[in-house]
Amino acid sequence: MKKTILTVDDSRTMREMVSFTLSSAGYAVVEAADGQQALSVLSNQRVDLVIADLNMPGMDGLTLIRRLRALPTHRTLPILMLTTESDEQKKSEGRAAGATGWIVKPFNPDKLVSVVRKVCG
């Protein structure tokens, strides 16, 4: 059965690039434009991995991670941050919030697929 990945980014172009890359690698991809929409998707659908941007209007990526980690059903769900932020302080905040990993934009499609395979198979 295909693994399902939720990509969360306020940039439609970025969501499409991630979706295309991962769909081409055999994954099913669901999209959300912000953290609130991601929570809505996750309340109705099981996913194997979340890839979230850090800087989004409304609910940012760190808040989304904290909200997911507070839910018993999502405590162990792998969550990757895909962001332009490469600052060590931000990465540290991401780890503290519960991020599984961190990928800096612009991303290399092969590297993204490699990390996704490592994290969720």
Complete domains list, the chain, with CATH = 4-120 (3.40.50.2300)
* Coil, helix or strand at residue 32: strand
% of the chain residues with pLDDT over 90:
83
> According to the model, what pLDDT value does residue 91 have?
87
Tokens of 82: 């895909």
Alpha carbon of residue 48 to chain centroid: 10
Arithmetic mean of pLDDT, 84-109 = 89
> According to the model, what pLDDT value does residue 10 have?
95
Tokens of 15: 């969501």
Arithmetic mean of pLDDT, 75-85 = 92
pLDDT tens for each residue of 60-77: 999 999 999 999 999 999
User: CB neighbours (10 Å) of residue 103?
Assistant: 16
pLDDT tens for each residue of 7-55: 999 999 999 999 999 999 999 999 999 999 999 999 999 999 999 999 9
Give the confidence band of 97 by pLDDT, cuts at 50, 70, 90: very high
